Chains A and B, each alone.
Chain A
Amino acid sequence: MTTTPGFLDIDALIADRQIRIAVICGAGGVGKTTSAAALALRAAEAGRKVVVLTIDPARRLAQSLGIAELDNTPRPVHGIDTSNGGSLDAMMLDMKRTFDEVVLAHANPETASSVLENPFYVALSSQFAGTQEYMAMEKLGQLHAEATESGTWDLIVVDTPPARSALDFLDAPEHLSALLDGRLMKVLLSGARGPFRLVSVGFNLVSSALNKVLGGRLLTDLQTFMAGFEAIFGGFRERATHTFELLASPQTTFLVVATPQRDALREAAYFVDRLSDEGMPLAGLVVNRVNRSALDVSAERALAQAEDLDPDAYAVEISALRQHADLVRVIENEHLLLDRFSASRLTVAHTLVASLPSDVTDADSLRRVGSLLAEQD
């Protein structure tokens, strides 16, 4: 089989031992987690030692992988073919726990407990839109360090969170560290340390405005939080920078997942552009749930045919023909959208994964998705 340009060759990617991190990203609801799990399983059965980091897998998929428990620890996945020397571990990210561990690892017990109880920390660690992304990257950093040190894994597959805005996981660490290292914090901290009337008019203005908007207690909480965080996240920016460099390095590759629908492809186009702007290594686009038909009959002909049949004698045939007509129109529409995408992003390789009649919930169906991923379309 020869590989045509424009085809995203998943098996070649798996065989490339230089690649040690695969990041799967895409809009919500396009099958990111399934793609990540299918890629991980296929890589493991091809001999790679894989760990897949998922964020929020469907319950039955999680059960089938044996990670129904959200305990932040990689667990071996059973029922895979290890005859090529590979292995598969899976873990589900517990965002709050990961954050707590970061705090505990970087602060003395007293500071740690004051931070862990602070309402701003509680909210930041459980609700902040970027925290999940940041913690996914934090966990990736940890897994990568562990993999490099112990050799337990040679491929980390990361399923990214369904982002509020497309690439939050790239922005979150930088964003968070900018916020915590920023001028606001200096104002708040100087407020905590004494009068800053002498510092500058700007500071004074900000401080009194903050008092007016937030009220005294909120401000005190915020100051405690910031003071605690300063101690913990001294090296915050460096770690964020390090993760970013890791992602941009040749050992990482990004796969953007979409479905052949207008909004999913619009998001995918945005992802692709953002990744290339950031100089991130893009493997290509995975298009899930692509419809196909083995029957070469046009929608018009199928409908005309259905129209002519006796509804009593051919009830099932009529339904089948109408269903085929709908399918052909769906396929035409999908082609149009995919052609438009390819025409505007010529260099992006892609692989198409056919729509499956039922949900992917076990190792066998993941294996099937894996071969659809790898097959040339």
Chain B
Amino acid sequence: MNRSRADGPLAAPPTPPRQTLHIVSGKGGTGKTTIAVSLACALATAGRRVLVCEVEGRHGITDLFGRLPLDGAEEPRLTRTPSGGAVHGLAIDAEDALLEYLDTYYRLGFAAKALEKFGFVDFVTSIAPGLRDVVLTGKVYEAVRRQRKGLSDAYDAVVLDAPPTGRIAQFLNIHEAVSGLTKVGPIRSQADSINAMLRDSATAVHLVTLLEDMPVTETDEAIAQLAPTQIAVGTVIANMVRSMPLTNEQLRIFADGNGVLRVPGFDEADNKALAAEFGAEATRTLDHRRLRTVLDGFGKPVAEVAFDPGGIDETAVFAIADQLRAQLALERS
């Protein structure tokens, strides 16, 4: 399509978020994978191709779409978003990625097979310090780089379903990991390139949390651990947030067990059962509200994703994508 200025003023095209690499972490059980996939859907607006990668071999991405696990180097399309973009998936396997890496950078050919046979591949991907992470992030680096190289299989954005908050700083701090080991050579220069990508303004780490003590504490710790690495924390995403119009004072009464309900048509026992049930919910909500203020104190933008009582499937993922798109618009340049 060839538009010229003569066509008159056009509506500004929607500016895509400026980040091209989104790294999603969070404590186990916070819905990190769901958010990573939803974020990929949110970024896949009309005509855009987005890749979502997992590195822990849990097959969580495909499970959300009710598909069989991804295999090897495949990057199949997982879904077409309602707005007309495409989301592709990739499960990065450390051993495959290492062999691919050796092939690309060293052209070892036959020797690479020998290395595999002698247990070197297993060694690097499990024991050799930091090298596993270099290999895993190296594959992500390759996917992000395709766009700059103008390759036909390039993506407009890449989302990484990263390791949980407890390990995220270590996972991303590749520089630190390999610097003690190697000052020069190809591994070092590869690590340096990955480092540069991670510290680029086009990269952001999003931390998923629930409004509960432990995940919020871990989010705080992850922010503190990431600070010296100069890898930017983008948004803190509070997941499974429930809406509640009542005031703290109203909730406190029920949390303390003093609330009385008078639902017309309910007998006394029903009203009591409902009040007790609501008391537990009130306690939880008060806690959520307290922790929500704690999150604000971290000095990062906070996005909220509503709790879905129906559970998570493809439809729910699209609904979360809409919520994320509306809130992460703040990040656009």
Contacts and interface: CB of A to CB of B under 8 A. Distances in A.
Interface of A: 27-30, 56, 58-60, 119-120, 122-124, 127-130, 162, 164-165, 175-176, 178-179, 182-184, 187, 202, 205-206, 208-210, 212-215, 217-218, 221, 259, 261-264, 266-267, 293-295, 297, 305, 309, 314-317, 319-321, 323-327, 329-330, 333, 337, 357-359
B127 interface: yes
Given A58-B214, A123-B177, A358-B287, A315 B246 contact: yes
Choose among B27, B242, B250, B264 the residue with the greatest number of A CB atoms under 10 Å from its CB: B264
Contacts of B27: 28-29
B201 interface: no
A293 B108 CA distance: 63
Choose among A27, A261, A326, A329 the residue with the greatest number of B CB atoms under 10 Å from its CB: A326
A305 B112 CA distance: 69
B60 interface: yes
B224 interface: no
Q: Which 7 A-B pairs have the closest CB atoms?
A: A29-B29, A28-B28, A123-B129, A29-B28, A215-B185, A209-B111, A329-B309
B185 A209 contact: no
B181 A210 contact: no
Choose among B120, B177, B187, B284 the residue with the greatest number of A CB atoms under 10 Å from its CB: B120
A127 B187 contact: no
A323 B29 contact: no
B187 A213 contact: yes
7 contacts: A124-B129, A164-B163, A206-B114, A214-B182, A320-B278, A323-B277, A329-B310
A27 B214 CA distance: 16
A264 B29 contact: yes
Contacts of A217: 182-183
B265 interface: yes
A179 B110 contact: no
Choose among B30, B111, B284 the residue with the greatest number of A CB atoms under 10 Å from its CB: B111
Interface string B242-271: 101110001000100001011111000010
B114 A202 contact: yes
Given A175-B126, A184-B119, A317-B261, A213 B106 contact: yes
Chain B interface size band reads: 35 or more
B247 to A, nearest CB: 10
Contacts of B163: 164
A358 B185 CA distance: 53
Contact of B130 (A59, A123, A179, A295): A123
Choose among A124, A184, A293 the residue with the greatest number of B CB atoms under 10 Å from its CB: A184
Given A29-B27, A162-B28, A206-B120, A323 B281 contact: yes
Contacts of B310: 329, 333
B311 A262 contact: yes
A357 B284 contact: yes
A218 B60 CA distance: 36
B29 A259 contact: yes
A195 B127 CA distance: 26
B115 interface: yes
A184 B186 CA distance: 21
Contacts of B180: 119, 122-123
A206 B115 contact: yes
B284 A205 contact: no
B275 interface: yes
B96 interface: no
Nearest to B213: A359
A17 to B, nearest CB: 34
A324 B118 contact: no
Nearest to B260: A316
B130 A215 contact: no
A217 B185 CA distance: 11
Interface in B113-158: 114-115, 117-120, 122-123, 126-130, 132
Nearest to B279: A357
Contact of B118 (A162, A206, A208, A267): A206
Contact of A205 (B28, B111, B217): B111
Interface string B300-311: 000000010111
A358 B290 CA distance: 13
A264 B60 CA distance: 10
A319 B111 contact: no
B317 interface: no
Nearest to A320: B278
A58 B108 contact: no
B112 to A, nearest CB: 7
A138 to B, nearest CB: 16
Choose among B28, B183, B242 the residue with the greatest number of A CB atoms under 10 Å from its CB: B28
Contacts of A179: 119, 122-123, 126-127
B162 to A, nearest CB: 12
Contacts of B265: 305
A184 B118 contact: yes
B180 to A, nearest CB: 5
Interface in B64-89: none
A337 B313 CA distance: 13
A214 B166 contact: no
B214 A212 contact: no
A327 B284 CA distance: 13
Nearest to B98: A213
B226 interface: no
Given A28-B27, A217-B183, A315-B246, 8 more contacts: A120-B127, A123-B129, A164-B163, A184-B119, A208-B111, A218-B182, A316-B246, A337-B311
Contacts of A295: 270, 273-274, 277
Given A128-B126, A323-B277, A162 B164 contact: yes
Nearest to A185: B119
B120 A210 contact: yes
A54 to B, nearest CB: 14
A175 B262 CA distance: 63
Contacts of A206: 111, 114-115, 118, 120
Nearest to A266: B63
A124 B36 CA distance: 30
A292 B263 CA distance: 20
Contacts of B63: 262-263, 266
Given A215-B187, A295-B274, A359 B246 contact: no
A149 B177 CA distance: 42
B270 A209 contact: no
B283 A28 contact: no
